[in-house]
Amino acid sequence: MPTPPAEHDTPPTVSLFEAWWFWLKLGLISFGGPAGQIAIMHQELVEKRRWLSERRFLHALNYCMLLPGPEAQQLATYIGWLMHRTWGGVIAGGLFVLPSLFILIGLSWLYIAFGDVPLVAGIFYGIKPAVTAIVMQAAWRIGSRALQNNWLWAIAAASFVAIFALNVPFPLIVLGAALLGYLGGRLLPEQFSLGGGHGATAKSFGPALIDDNTPTPAHARFRASRLALIGAAGALLWLLPMGLLTWLYGWEGTLTQMGWFFTKAALLTFGGAYAVLPYVYQGAIGHYAWLTPTQMIDGLALGETTPGPLIMVVAFVAFVGAYVQQVFGPEQLFIAGALAATLVTWFTFLPSFLFILAGGPLVESTHGELKFTAPLTGITAAVVGVILNLALFFGYHVLWPEGFRGRFDWPSALIALAAALALFKFKRGVIEVIAACALLGLLVHMWLN
């Protein structure tokens, strides 16, 4: 672990190997869903290591919030690309996903082959309330940075009401916030500049390696030829595996249909994992019958309690579908499941890399222009309300697992309270909290059963 730079010193240049080691570590500890993962990245990259400034971090985050797909993974890809060119982005985004893929393949096999495992059930029992507290902390952390005036507070409150009470689709919330931000930038520029008006500026943690006024690196400047090259490479990387699957198994083959279905999921759904889950649920269960509703819920629990993006639940869906349908016959069940999980991960995340590598140069050219940054400032404010809704969603399902008319799960409530105190009051790390809550959950589960 490198020593953090002194408060007034510019951090030393970061080698690709140092970055590789950091992204691998992040991929192994990135629990808590997108909000928790973004909070970890902010704490490590902006506050401690100072690889980039607060404003550059928020500017990249705002762009990733606009895209379909997992925003935390895309943010990691963006930062890796900004620092170390294309390979840096591929390494950062890939290591954000690969540990989760390997873990989920193993857990999916244990789940489908051996059924309920009391040890795993107990660990899950403790981690779920911890994740609730982590998401709540993330809402507070992002809100304390982004909501610098009453206008931005109003956008956050409106987005919460829209998604919680009115069930407004997330894309409409994003578009509405962007429109309000655009109008605010025109009519009240001081309120919608980065920093939020009233003389406020983005908080500084000291000089950063990529600071507010650091010139855009040469590789991050827009070139039409580079955009065309990335587009062609992306098309080829999709067509080759899809063509091979179609040739081997036909268009209606299970693996081919999985690749096509999750490509559509990656491109057509906005708002992160919880926005795409209803689409996956309807297709995987209702249309294709790859798994049962109970298995889908269990898979979501696995996704919530493993590192990496929550959308990695698609790997569980693919593993179970190929395993149960015996795609390669009864003697190669694990191989069928593992290959299906890997293929689906490829088709789900390929668009995310292309969005960053193709769109990054355009975004970098706008980080000082209010007409571009004001809509993104509005989106960031709206996201605070959406994350708060997510925390309440977690809390409801953890504390009332059978619904409001069912029993109140007081052991989970105590674990959630303990996790919140550890995070907010005692400033403990996310991994420490998750490990302690997993142990508490195992003890409680053994006692109750």
Q: How many domains would you assign to the chain? A: 1
Q: Residue 67: inside a domain, yes or no?
A: yes
Give the H/E segment covering residue 242.
helix 224-249
Q: Residue 385: inside a domain, yes or no?
A: yes
Which ranges constitute the DSSP H helices of 115-169?
118-146, 150-164
3-state secondary structure of 346: helix
What pLDDT score was predicted for residue 198? 38
Mean pLDDT, each 10-residue run in order, the chain (449 residues)? 57 85 86 72 86 84 77 90 92 92 90 70 80 79 80 91 82 84 85 53 67 80 88 95 94 92 78 62 79 74 75 89 88 92 94 90 70 75 80 80 80 92 85 85 84
Closest to 59 measured CA to CA, from 49, 46, 68: 46
What pLDDT score was predicted for residue 416? 92
* Backbone angles phi and psi of 205, in degrees to 5: -105, 15
What pLDDT score was predicted for residue 233? 94
The pTM assigned to this predicted structure is 0.71
What pLDDT score was predicted for residue 201? 44
CA 5 – CA 50 distance, rounded (Å): 8
Sign of CA dihedral 427, 432, 438, 440: negative
CA 85 – CA 403 distance, rounded (Å): 49
Name the CA radius of gyration of the chain, rounded.
22
Q: Residue 211: inside a domain, yes or no?
A: no
What pLDDT score was predicted for residue 196? 45
* Other C-beta atoms lying within 10 Å of the C-beta of residue 255: 23
| Sole residue written with tokens 């990387």 | 237
Q: Residue 239: inside a domain, yes or no?
A: yes
Range of the domain at 317: 14-196+225-449
CB burial class (10 A; 0-12, 13-18, 19+) of residue 187?
exposed
3-state secondary structure of 18: helix
**In one letter, which amino acid is 371?**
K
Q: Residue 205: inside a domain, yes or no?
A: no
CA 144 – CA 156 distance, rounded (Å): 12
What pLDDT score was predicted for residue 20? 93
Q: Residue 212: inside a domain, yes or no?
A: no
Q: Residue 7: inside a domain, yes or no?
A: no
CA 184 – CA 153 distance, rounded (Å): 13
Q: Residue 201: inside a domain, yes or no?
A: no
